[in-house]
Structure 1
Amino acid sequence: MGKQVQIVSVGPDHTLQLNKKELERILLAPNVKDKPVALVSIMGAFRQGKSFLMNFLMRYLRSHDKTNWMGDEDTPLEGFSWSTGTERNTIGIHVWDEVFLVRTPTGGELAVLLMDTQGAFDSDTSADETANLFALSILTSSVQIYNISKNIQEDHLQHLQLVAEYCMETQESPTGSQFQKLVFLIRDWQYPDDNAYGAVGGRSHLEQFISTSTQQHQDNKDLRKSLDSCFSSLDCFLMPHPGKATAEESNRNAKEEAKTFYVEQIQNVIYDSIQELEEIHESLLQISRDIFRAARKTGGEDVKKRYLDMLEKVC
């Protein structure tokens, strides 16, 4: 089943120390050493559920593409150690020493390795340590996940500045090459009606945030351009708050059901005056409200009111 192994530790003098022996044991194993390796890594602020997420990726890789890979709700989540609370859990950089062999579209096998990086910005970690861990994670990963709560902020891009500058320097050399894929994973996304949960909404949100404008400071423009040139691919995925996902979805479905009723009815209305149309509109709107209220929903009254307000605006 594998176990969690620390491959990079932070020494007493705050320097990074590589556990070469453990890394060689994993990568030079008979079933791995002759295969291409894809390293999936995650980084971000501490206590934001990075280890928790990596364990779901691990569960998926073990499922071999089964449609019900999530399993039952009471199935224990195994893998990297994680905990609730305010104290950091992962220190340095850890990998799961079970390498997952994945069949590629061309028929070959790819060795996938999962890596968990120490959370940033806790009281025991210096800015230099954070920058070094971020840089090492990005330099070695095939897919770098940047775990973010609620929304991308300007300082998230600034935290990538060190790696962006390094990337620009390597591109100036004849052998310089881009880093690979960077994925912004935004947890607890609060604006699903602007950009929907998932990959499509994530890409739309990322395009809006990464785009430059004449109003931006030149430093912000340069940072966006350098990030775009550093990585072979930039992507984004929007996730709901685990406790709010069902509430949001059930209220959204109720709103769409009520809206569909209103649109279908109003399209068939024949009227003789504006006053008559307004009366019909009010009648249909009230029925739509009743449909929304009668629909099965979860969540608090604030969520229900927000979606009812949305319904009234579109009808």
Structure 2
Amino acid sequence: MCSPMSEPICLVENVDGSLCVNAGAVEHLSKYDQPVVVVSVVGFYRTGKSYLLNRLAGKQTGFALGSTIESKTKGIWMWCVPHPYNAGQTLVLLDTEGLGDVDKGDSKNDAWIFCLAVLLSSTLVYNSRGTIDNTAVEKLHYVTELAEQIRIKSPSSRAAEEEDEEDFTFVQFFPNFIWAVRDFSLELELEKRGQVTEDEYLDFALQLKKGLSMKNTNYNLPRQCIRNYFPTRKCFVFPFPASQEKMVCLESLDESEIVPKFLAATKQFRDYVFAASKVKTLKGGYRVTGRIFGHLVQSYVETISSGKVPCLENAVVVMAQIENQTALEEGLEVYQSGMEQVKSLFPVNLNTLSAEHQKMSNVASTEFMKRSFKDEGQEYFNKLMEAVDKHYAELITQNMEASDKKCQLILSDLYEKMNEGVQRGEYAKPGGYKLYCTHRDNVITQYNSHPDKGNQADAVLERFMSEKSVEAKIILQTDEQLTECEKKVQEEKEQAAVLEQQCKAEQKRNLELEQLMQEEKANHKQRMQQLEMKFEEERLQQQQELDRAVESKMAEQNELLTKGFLEKAQVLELEIEQLKKEKDKQSDNFFKNYIMPIVDIARDVFSIVLQYELMKKTYSKASIKE
């Protein structure tokens, strides 16, 4: 686990209106394997964004507050801290460059900063001062530009008729929205309604006007976007934190010097953000880790800098390629390093090698599943399993070779004294054949009793007996003590013994191959179960993503119906129906892209017959020596 950051660092630099990613920040993010909850604060400069973020970080200081009219934050700054509520998650706080900085004078640059905050966040906090009046809403014109600055689908996968309609699906992928009103000095009261809550105050400010006049259309546009794009809306109002004289040193004030109502509002804000903010996800519901988040920032900033429009679908594809390739490499590394221990013990029996293979193969695929996502067609999983099986076949060969070498060495050592006797002619005399057979049988007995020879013991003994049968035949023919009839009987016995050993070795090979085949079947079944669990997890993520969007649209529709906006409610009904159709379409695509490839894998990639033939050839190669 990566140690918490002691202070914020710049994530996205903004130099002369040009955005670029800070490589050091991405390197730091690469150390975080935990899911991230990303909270961004946006708003006009000198509105106190940094103070709120410091409170979220549980610190008095950190993000620069400044005490002058000059904007302190340039680009986007990041602070990663452990999530205070959810163990195993990292809270990523983003402080964005103040909008409307007079020194910058570049509204397009502001728009891209706002766009990045939306793209990267789980929760987006819009920070403003005073009240939520029409002027305040109009200042949030950046939200109306999002449809032009963000694409959901890539041009290649988007139908022509969807060009102007896809923005209604933003609600699936956009963050929760919080409006934080600073230095609020009014009473939360509305005419004819009396006392209202903060959320009711926000809803009142975002009410739409009836009528199709240009004036009403312009008035409704930013409000309509906020209502349609963000799945949830929340409002917090903060009174002045201290007297005007003390405001310039707010970060150094003791809590006793801060207005109690401000502290209470800050606590409520913090508690809500921590409880309501979800793990950042990509299109498709894929959870984002710190490492993926770093890649995501790079992808979006590079796209923006190139003059193109960021696309959520393309981002998922890019992230999936990066993560799946790394998952493949890490899974293979886990398998190979895990097999090193058993490799150091070569030769071992097949049961030992096979058991370790099954264990480490399972570990490798489990590690792959943890990191991989959107592996449609199982391209990367297939490559991992092929690499694992190839390495396993190599280990089988190496184990056989080690066994072969060890067995030959044992027989060579045991036969050495006997070989010296052959060279001296000790067996070239009457009765020599019987003596030779006695000594040879002793060698074989000692060899058979020798432990840890590996699975080539019978095959090497078969070759030994075949080789020595020629030698025995010569000694047999020169033994004058035996009659021709006895020699013929002994010769037949020699051939029978060699044939018996050949059958024994072949039987052993066939039993081992059958064992391998059965174990590969079990291993294959386990892999399929892992795949199905992974695919079901991803399917549920996609369904939940759409369910949340439908729920948000239905809540908005009910509110519009209550307030008499029948036409707008009917439009929402069409959008809800399209989202439901998208849900059905995703189920069909899931079957096409995931379930069907599982059948293909079962038939082709992990064909037991092919595995059987591969291992049979491997055995033959190791067993047959020139």
What is the TM-score normalised by the length of structure 2?
0.33
Q: Counterpart in 2 of 1:67?
A: none
Q: How does 1:34-73 map to 2 (within 5 A)?
A: 35-59=34-58
1:139 match: 119
Partner-residue secondary structure (3-state), 1:205: helix
Shift of 1:26: 2.8
Give the equivalent residue in structure 1 for 2:108: 128
1:144-159 alignment runs, 5 A limit: 144-152=124-132, 153-159=136-142
Inter-partner Cα distance in structure 2 for 1:193 and 1:146? 19
- Contact in 1 for aligned 2:188/2:201 (Cα 8 Å): no
User: 1-side partners of 2:261 and 2:35: how far apart?
Assistant: 41
For 2:77, give the aligned amino acid: H
Shift of 1:182: 1.2
Query: How far apart are residue 246 of structure 1 and its match?
Result: 4.8
Give how far 1:206 is off. Answer: 0.8
Within 2, Cα distance between the matches of 1:136 and 1:47? 20
Contiguous gaps of at least 5 residues in structure 1: 61-76, 250-315
Q: Structure 1 residues 188 and 174 mapped into 2: Cα distance closer, same or farther (>3 Å)?
A: closer
1:92-111 to structure 2, matched below 5 A, reads: 92-96=75-79, 98-104=80-86, 109-111=88-90
Q: Which amino acid aligns with 1:149?
A: R
The secondary structure found in structure 2 opposite 1:213 is: coil
The TM-score, its normalising length taken from structure 1, stands at 0.62
CA pair 228-86 structure 1, distance change in 2 beyond 3 A: same
Query: By percentage of residues, which structure has more helix?
Result: 2
* Aligned residue number for residue 119 of structure 1: 98
CA distance 1:168–1:202, change in 2 (3 Å): farther
Contact 2:51 2:65 in 1 (8 A): yes
Deviation at 1:116, TM superposition (A): 0.6
Residues 121 and 222 of structure 1: CA distance in aligned 2, closer, same or farther (over 3 Å): closer
Q: 1 CA distance for matches of 2:240 and 2:168?
A: 45
Give the whole-Å Cα distance in 2 for the aligned partners of 1:80 and 1:248: 23
User: Paired residue for 1:7?
Assistant: 11
Q: Specify whether residues 146 and 164 from structure 1 end up closer, same or farther in structure 2 by C-alpha distance, changes over 3 A only.
A: farther
| Whole-angstrom distance in 1 between the partners of 2:149 and 2:227 | 14
Which of 16, 21, 24 aligns to 1:22? It is 24
2:14 is matched by which residue type in structure 1? V
Task: Measure the CA separation in 2 of the matches of 1:213 and 1:10.
Answer: 38
| Cα distance in 2 for residues equivalent to 1:164 and 1:201 | 31
Note if contact 1:164-1:230 (Cα within 8 Å) is conserved in structure 2. Answer: no
> Partners in 1 of 2:70 and 2:111 — Cα distance?
20
Q: Deviations over 1:180-211 (max 9, x none)?
A: 1111100111222417xxxx722011110112
- Measured after TM superposition, the shift of residue 91 of structure 1 is 0.8
**Is contact 2:143–2:225 with CA below 8 Å preserved after alignment?**
no
- Structure 2: which amino acid aligns with 1:15? S
Q: Does the 8 Å CA contact 1:183/1:236 hold for their aligned counterparts?
A: yes
User: Is this contact kept in 2: 1:103–1:109, CA < 8 A?
Assistant: no
Q: Distance in 2 between matches of 1:140 and 1:248?
A: 32
Query: Counterparts of 1:17 and 1:130 in 2: how far apart (Å)?
Result: 15
- Alpha-carbon distance in structure 2 between the residues aligned to 1:41 and 1:221: 25
1:172 — aligned with what? 166
**Separation in 2, partners of 1:164, 1:175:** 10
Query: How far apart are residue 110 of structure 1 and its match?
Result: 2.0
Aligned with 2:189: secondary structure? coil
1:243: how far off? 2.8
Unaligned runs of 5+ in 2: 154-164, 191-195, 244-257, 263-626
Q: For residue 231 of structure 2, give the secondary structure of its aligned residue in structure 1.
A: strand
* Residue 86 of structure 1: how far off its partner (Å): 1.3
Query: Alpha-carbon deviations, 1:204-229, whole Å to 9, x = none?
Result: 11110112122661132233222222
Letter in 2 for 1:172: E
**In 2: Cα distance, 1:240 partner to 1:89 partner:** 23
- Counterparts of 2:188 and 2:226 in 1: how far apart (Å)? 28
1:156-175: CA deviations, max 9, x gaps? Answer: 33232212554686672898
One of 71, 74, 78 as aligned partner of 2:61: 78
Q: 1:174 to 1:191 in 2, by over 3 A?
A: closer
Q: CA RMSD in A?
A: 2.9
Residue 52 of structure 1 and its aligned partner are, at CA, apart by 1.7
Residues 137 and 222 in structure 2, CA contact (< 8 A), matched pair in contact too: no
Query: Alignment partner of 1:89: what SS?
Result: coil
**Structure 1 residues 192 and 95, CA gap change in structure 2 (3 angstroms):** same
Alignment of 1:130-279 (within 5 A): 130-152=110-132, 153-166=136-149, 172=166, 177-194=172-189, 201-214=197-210, 217-243=216-242, 246=259
* Structure index of larger Rg: 2
**Which is richer in strand?**
1
Compare 78-87 and 222-231 and name the one that shifted more.
222-231
SS of the residue corresponding to residue 59 of structure 1 reads coil
Q: Provide the residue aligned with 2:312 in structure 1.
A: none
Find the aligned partners of 2:260 and 2:35 in 1 and give their Cα distance. Answer: 42
Secondary structure, in 3 states, of the residue corresponding to 1:232?
A: coil
Percent of aligned positions that are identical: 25
SS in 2 for 1:99: strand
Against the structure 1 CA distance between its residues 232 and 165, is the aligned structure 2 distance closer, same or farther, given a 3 Å change threshold?
farther
- Contact 1:164–1:227 under 8 Å retained in 2: no
Matched residue count: 220
Deviates more, 1:163-172 or 1:45-54: 163-172
| In 2: Cα distance, 1:133 partner to 1:18 partner | 13
How big is the shift at 1:119? 0.8
Q: Tell me the CA shift for residue 122 of structure 1.
A: 1.7
**Does the CA-based 8 Å contact 2:168-2:229 persist in structure 1?**
no
Structure 2 Cα separation of the partners of residues 218 and 173 of structure 1: 18
Query: CA–CA distance in 1 between the matches of 2:169 and 2:125?
Result: 26
Letter in 1 for 2:37: A
d(CA) in 1 for partners of 2:93, 2:207: 31
